[in-house]
Amino acid sequence: MNVTHGNNSAMNSGYQKDSITLIGAVSMGTGVMIGAGIFALTGQIAELAGPWFPLSFVAGAIVTAFSAYTYVKMSNAYPSSGGIAMILQKAYGPGAIAAAASLLMALSMVINESLVARTFGTYALRPFGVGEDSALVPVLAVALIVFAYLVNASGARSVGLVSLVMAAIKIGGIALFGIAALWAAGFAFAPATSGAEAQPIAGFIASVALSILAFKGFTTITNSGAEIVDPHRNVGRTIMISIAICVVIYLLVAFAVGASLSLDEIVAAKDYALAEAAAPAFGSAGFYFTIALAVVATASGLLASVFAVSRMLAMLTSMKMIPHSHFGMSGPIRDHTLVYTVVLASVLAVFFDLTRIAALGVFFYLVMDILIHWGVLRGLRQEIGARSWILITAITLDVVVLVVFGALRLRSDPLIVVTAVLAIVVVFVLERFYLARWIGAESKPADGTQEAG
């Protein structure tokens, strides 16, 4: 393999300063979160949390808020197109720990793309009575990924424009769905019920892992930091605005679904719960309206995610944290990483179902998140003015959720737990061999991070 370290130039990484406005960045962040969070995960969260599943989104928002504190502090101080990688490199130096954790983040984002793409396929086929197990689901998933590639290949401004339009449509539409469903149910905010008893506390805690996954799209913003207008001011604002919007939308929809369907019905339709919840309240018109919303939401979510992860991989290459091969392709590194991103997402969409894709995403993301907080707590908290107790709380919450989620998955699906653990170990071992050191000397970010400001 022709391995190169790439070039640290902005041109080589596809970096475009001031190409994303505050509104555009919020659209990207909410696009990633809402695209996966509501349509793909509501049913899975209900299955774990039981009748009080709306509260899982509240708990997920609380954990995410503690987590976001670290990213906001770091992004305000060092806005960068290599956001996550920049934080890890400053925390651990240019060694295998920083590189492996950065790669885990990139992989978790690719996993999210496959999750969103399969959700697109599942919802798009519901009007035809085609189930999640149909071979047509991965076909449509791959088709959407290819579409996302074509839009992203046309440049950052195209992504921002499309994301803005789609975000406006889906947020307005989903809010309308939630309000109308609650109206039809007489604004009954009681949780969905069934003949079964409430889930044990372990199930609820495990469900929070999926709720966190529904909010993790805010990291898309940190990975595009230097491309956002006035990043020292707007990166943090964008993160908090995006999370706040999603909290409102998630709770509105969760209560609406709980008011329309019993818990058993939600679990039975976990891959397309919103479409099923629309039918009792609005009939066939509501069903098709929700399908259309799901298609728009998942498409915009995928566009935003592909945009961010391709740039993150390009920055990792420019920062000499991962090897790179052109495979005969011409053009800048960002064009190559865009291809790698969509190919890997397509493979995952073909071979994994929604439940397993979500589980993989949880393991990869939470391990990376814990390393972020620990690295900042260990060596950067005074430099950026972060409070130790908030960082410690973020680590503790992540560890508790990860351990409980892993324990339950080990009982129900040990293969996916083993797969996740092996994949994480392989990432760290390969990076150790590539970089020949675990922790590098403390240094400023490489030029490839393109600090702004």
The whole-angstrom separation of Cα 436 and Cα 119 is: 40
Q: Is CATH 1.10.8.640 the classification given to domain 19-318+328-447?
A: no
User: What is the pLDDT, as a whole number, of residue 429?
Assistant: 93
201 Cβ contact partners less than 8 Å away, ≥ 6 residues apart:
none
7's enclosing H/E stretch is none
DSSP assignments along 315-384, one per residue:
HHHHTTSS-B--TT--S-HHHHHHHHHHHHHHHHHHH--HHHHHHHHHHHHHHHHHHHHHHHHHHTHHHH
Give the start-to-end residue ranges of the domains of the chain: 19-318+328-447
Enter the tokens of residue 52. Answer: 């009080």
Residue 192 and residue 51 in contact, taking contact as beta carbons nearer than 8 Å: yes
User: What is the pLDDT, as a whole number, of residue 2?
Assistant: 39
Per-residue pLDDT of the chain (453 residues; tens, 9 = 90+): 333 333 333 333 445 565 677 887 787 777 667 765 677 788 889 889 888 888 999 999 999 999 999 988 887 777 665 577 878 888 898 888 999 998 898 888 888 888 888 888 888 888 887 766 788 888 999 998 988 888 777 765 555 566 667 767 777 888 887 887 777 766 665 555 544 444 579 999 999 999 998 888 787 777 666 667 777 778 888 888 988 888 888 888 888 888 888 888 888 777 677 777 777 767 777 778 888 888 887 887 787 777 777 777 777 787 777 776 666 666 666 677 778 888 888 998 888 888 888 899 999 999 999 999 999 999 899 898 899 999 999 999 999 999 999 999 999 999 999 999 999 999 999 998 888 777 765 544 444 444 443
User: What is the pLDDT, as a whole number, of residue 7?
Assistant: 37
The whole-angstrom separation of Cα 44 and Cα 53 is: 10
The whole-angstrom separation of Cα 145 and Cα 147 is: 5
| Distance in Å from the first CA to the final CA of the chain | 38
Phi, psi for residue 4 in degrees, rounded to 5: -130, 160
C-alpha angle 68-73-77 in degrees, rounded to nearest 5 = 145
User: What is the pLDDT, as a whole number, of residue 453?
Assistant: 37
Enter the tokens of residue 331. Answer: 């053009």
Residue 86 and residue 422 in contact, taking contact as beta carbons nearer than 8 Å: no
Give the closest residue to 89 by CA, choosing from 77, 79, 81, 101. Answer: 101
Residue 96 and residue 371 in contact, taking contact as beta carbons nearer than 8 Å: no
pTM: 0.82
The whole-angstrom separation of Cα 339 and Cα 343 is: 6
Give the closest residue to 212 by CA, choosing from 84, 402, 407, 348. Answer: 402
How are the residues of the chain apportioned to helix, strand and coil, as percentages rounded to the nearest 5?
80, 0, 20
232 Cβ contact partners less than 8 Å away, ≥ 6 residues apart:
76, 77, 79, 452, 453
